[in-house]
Structure 1
């Protein structure tokens, strides 16, 4: 069974999300649980979600087994982040089975973001799967889930107008910054960070006509980024000077990057205000920066308060596509789960048919017309049970199918791991 433990901007404040992001609790964290087959963690600026493939056994109370795994997952996450488990439980949503696919598809399509239809989230979902693959924590079920999430995201983007304006946290931040800066063509910008958000930020700045951009990085990767993107690299030794001349500083790293002493050392000139936009989670800029004269701070929490009202028509159309994709995923998953049982049943019927045909041939009673009639009869006989097997699997009742085959035909189909045992 697939389950999801989700803390996002809808359930938790940014302080708690910061602590979760800073804990470094990745997919491997969950594999300590013997009932967790695999895990993928999606950690972005406004969410921390664990997607788990759980072995709930073959008993009748699979929901209770899933809830037990969820409780242990919450305890692990809370312990790693230094958060009281009770507090974390009140700040999370948990989902299982069919709800997991619907939720992830909505997330990947930008329907659960602070900014409806944001551009970055689809790439972040893909990278989360890639990181889990690298760590060896994926399973076939999680692979199918995340691959179909990416397919759904592309479908929503191509079919609806939900992200036609290319909106994102970056672009919303720049919209808010616009009234506090010189004309974009004259603005001096320093980007601190060289990851995906830095690339998105640079593209958004160029769309607005910004010509000269400095780039610095705590990791020392600014030179490579600068060569690739055609901007000016700022080594650590020159960062203070770059801060001194900047009108706008945008940070997007995973570490604390700017403090009040950093900006004080830069000796801001009178009449030369600075706007600092912090897109990092955990926060890249300490809160005391906001108290400096001539410095304004926009962080994620502030930016999210200005998220635009959803476009209802585009949102409704996108949600319909997500719902259709989730139903298709569940149908495919049910068929995959039921496949060993169906194969076992078909094999049993075909073996009985071949034995009867062999006896008829030995008696001289079998001609082509008789064989065709018997094969057609067997096909009709198989159709209804296989259809019901898929339906029961989709309803989470595959154990009933296995039990019925064992009772009626003595067929042992497969174990909890889905491997044939005919």
Structure 2
């Protein structure tokens, strides 16, 4: 069994296209099982879905790549050709290398950002629960987590990153002279909003509020920051109260429309409003960006702020890549061993068959009255002849070109203490 990865991310596809392939946690399990049913043979599959990427990892024959591409295109409601033009494919060890780089934060919009590792671990849990994980993908992901841990502890890759949350605060600071004088609204109550709220709360704004579809969950997050809890249904009436709005929900449709923002701006008497849409698909209608007093940013718009440069960053990346390459070689070796498993089983079975046959012959000899030494001699000679028969036949039938390589291989297998040099055969 091999591995391949099919995906699209912030470097290959715009945010609106990525939104078509975003999966909520509730959608992952049924989607995984649905895809596995399409495989010709039992295979393994896991899906990593974040605001910046959707990736399908498959443990199966690479011939299933085209059906996987067609299936994913159908999920997103686009043609296979459109998906191919905005996606990437990795096979075998290249798929493992990609997974290791993603887990380590080297393939993220924010170099070294830590959130992706947790998201990949969640993807593994979802696949395990759905029954689609399997030994090969489990091994690859566990190795990717170990590599990511080593990268974070052995390099300074994380020290040179700016999180999306920090980038949002930096942008807001450019618009508002004092964040202490602003009122901030967070829409949603997931991990990303919690992270953003932590960064904004550190700047002690005048007021904080959390709007969430489930009021109880919103109240729990609001309580951590001394914020007001709102229902999503309160948004149209309360939007004008806030200078900064940061939204990240799992909604499949925008929850903040152009009309609501237009009314809010009018009520604010043209005072500017800073808005950040971290959701994929979008939470805020893209037309809002056209309003003259609104400053709307998406996850893609933040990319310029989260790039870092310099010699230290490059050194950290090179060090991380070396750690990743070592991990890839380990996984490649493991895959090779897995491919040899059927042969190993067959060898053990054949050896057992020979052993049982010689034991049965020895018992017959003993029953006929043969002495023990004669029986032992016959048993060991029989086993030896069976073990060497195929090898000797190959040596005798090989031509000169084949024989040199065959002699070298046989010497490694049978004469490990005193391997023969193939050149000896020509002297």
Query: What is the TM-score normalised by the length of structure 1?
Result: 0.76
Q: Counterparts of 1:281 and 1:138 in 2: how far apart (Å)?
A: 25
* Per-residue deviation, residues 62-92 of structure 1 (Å, max 9, x unmatched): xxxx24x111111111122121211211221
- 1:351 to partner: Cα distance: 7.0
Q: Counterparts of 1:131 and 1:350 in 2: how far apart (Å)?
A: 41
- State the match for 1:71 in structure 2: 66
- State the match for 1:81 in structure 2: 76
Match of 2:87 among 75, 85, 92: 92
Equivalent residues, number: 364
1:144-293 → structure 2 map (5 Å cutoff): 144-164=139-159, 167-210=162-205, 212-220=207-215, 221-227=217-223, 230-236=226-232, 238-240=234-236, 242-255=238-251, 256-266=254-264, 267-270=266-269, 272-293=271-292
* Per-residue deviation, residues 139-174 of structure 1 (Å, max 9, x unmatched): 222222222222222221111111125532222232
Gaps of 5+ in 2: 392-427
**Which sits farther off after the overlay, 314-323 or 167-176?**
167-176
1:302 aligns with 2:301: yes
**Conservation of the 8 A alpha-carbon contact between 1:190 and 1:242:** no
3-state DSSP class of the match of 1:112? coil
- 1:237 to partner: Cα distance: 5.1
- 1:5 to partner: Cα distance: 0.8
- State the match for 2:59 in structure 1: 53
Structure-2 change in CA distance of 1:355 and 1:142 (3 Å): same
- State the match for 1:15 in structure 2: 16
- 1:342 to partner: Cα distance: 2.5
- State the match for 1:328 in structure 2: 330
Structure-2 change in CA distance of 1:211 and 1:318 (3 Å): farther
Structure-2 change in CA distance of 1:72 and 1:268 (3 Å): same
Structure-2 change in CA distance of 1:191 and 1:140 (3 Å): same
Match of 2:129 among 134, 141, 161: 134
* Per-residue deviation, residues 220-257 of structure 1 (Å, max 9, x unmatched): 43123334565321224543454222121101112212
**Conservation of the 8 A alpha-carbon contact between 2:10 and 2:300:** no
* Per-residue deviation, residues 83-141 of structure 1 (Å, max 9, x unmatched): 12112112211111111111111111111111211221111111112222233322222
> Could you say which structure has the larger radius of gyration?
2
Q: Counterparts of 2:199 and 2:32 in 1: how far apart (Å)?
A: 32
Gaps of 5+ in 1: 57-65, 386-422
Please, what is the CA RMSD of the aligned residues?
Answer: 3.2
